């Protein structure tokens, strides 16, 4: 299954207040494994960058001044996203900005049924714990030493690793189903285990009843017991 893990950086918290999306980073997963395909873009917001937002992601007005506007890169972005489920941390925030930008340039909003929120997954799996991306990376031993400031592609790459851990870890590829290889005739792994058992000759059942001599010896042994337990216990109640 193809999934896209993504993250955004913005000028603020709410597009309804005039804030815009300025960076998006996307990582492609197929069957919860990174394929190496990514999408990354900066966008000119057409407005000033608040100092508090720049302090978080480091994207200045000067840096963004020569970047394309969102409508200029939207087609390439949508082609990369395709119809895959979209995974984000606190996904409602990212979906709100992405859909606002799509609406402003005349595109349909992305259906929320495609949204996978790793924040919700983390809260369900670790109630009462810290659920920030940094805290969860520390919990799962994901190296974030190179994360000095927020960056959409870097955060998406970290989140892709975290998502795999939250949904089964490195063992999610293990399966008990028989999935034949492309060329079953040349790959022994394609043959179900039960069909690969070596045929063995059927052996006749061995006699287990005691011989007459063994019965006599047992009776002689029992007769020498003094006050055996089964005589003192009485009949079963």
Q: Is 38 helix (H, G, I), strand (E, B) or coil?
A: strand
Active-site residue, selected from the candidate residues 19, 89, 131, 150: 150
| In contact, 158 and 144? CB cutoff 8 Å | yes
Q: Is 22 helix (H, G, I), strand (E, B) or coil?
A: strand
CA distances 207 to 18, 202, 213, 218, Å, are 89, 16, 15, 18
Q: For residue 7, say whether it is annotated as part of any ligand binding site.
A: yes
Q: What residues does 24 pair with on adjacent strands?
A: 8, 41
| In contact, 85 and 3? CB cutoff 8 Å | yes
Q: Is 39 helix (H, G, I), strand (E, B) or coil?
A: strand
Q: For residue 117, say whether it is annotated as part of any ligand binding site.
A: no
| In contact, 21 and 12? CB cutoff 8 Å | no
Tokens representing residue 37 in the block? 């395909």
CA–CA dist 27, 3 (Å, integer): 8
Residue where the block lists tokens 């920030």:
132
Which residues does 231 contact at the CB level (< 8 Å), separation at least 6?
A: none
Smallest CA-to-CA distance from 157 within 32, 28, 42 is with 28
Q: For residue 54, say whether it is annotated as part of any ligand binding site.
A: no
Is residue 89 among the annotated active site residues?
Answer: no
Q: For residue 213, say whether it is annotated as part of any ligand binding site.
A: no
Q: For residue 40, say whether it is annotated as part of any ligand binding site.
A: no
* Residues classed as catalytic: 150
Residues contributing to the annotated binding site: 7, 9, 52, 57, 155
Residues contributing to the annotated binding site for a divalent metal cation: 7, 9, 155
Residues contributing to the annotated binding site for substrate: 7, 9, 52, 57, 155
């Amino acid at each position: 299954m193809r999934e896209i893990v993504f993250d955004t950086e913005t000028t603020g918290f709410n597009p309804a207040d005039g804030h815009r999306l300025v960076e998006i980073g996307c990582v492609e997963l197929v069957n919860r494994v990174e394929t190496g395909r990514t999408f990354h873009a900066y966008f000119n917001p057409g407005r000033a960058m608040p100092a508090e937002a720049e302090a978080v992601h480091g994207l200045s007005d000067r840096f963004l001044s020569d970047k394309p506007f969102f409508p200029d890169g939207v087609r390439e972005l949508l082609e990369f996203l395709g119809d895959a489920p979209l995974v984000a941390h606190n996904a409602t925030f990212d979906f709100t900005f992405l859909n606002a930008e799509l609406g402003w340039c005349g595109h349909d909003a992305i259906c929320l049924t495609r949204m996978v929120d790793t924040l919700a997954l983390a809260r369900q799996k670790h109630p009462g714990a810290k659920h920030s991306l940094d805290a969860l990376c520390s919990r799962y031993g994901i190296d974030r030493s190179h994360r000095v400031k927020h960056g959409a592609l870097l955060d998406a790459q970290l989140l892709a690793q975290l998502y795999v851990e939250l949904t089964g870890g490195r063992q999610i590829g293990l399966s008990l189903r028989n999935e034949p290889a492309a060329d079953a005739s040349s790959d022994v792994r394609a043959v179900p285990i039960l069909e690969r058992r070596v045929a063995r000759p059927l052996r006749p059942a061995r006699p287990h009843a005691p011989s007459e001599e063994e019965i006599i010896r047992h009776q002689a042994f029992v007769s020498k017991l003094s006050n055996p337990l089964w005589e003192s216990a009485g009949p079963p109640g």
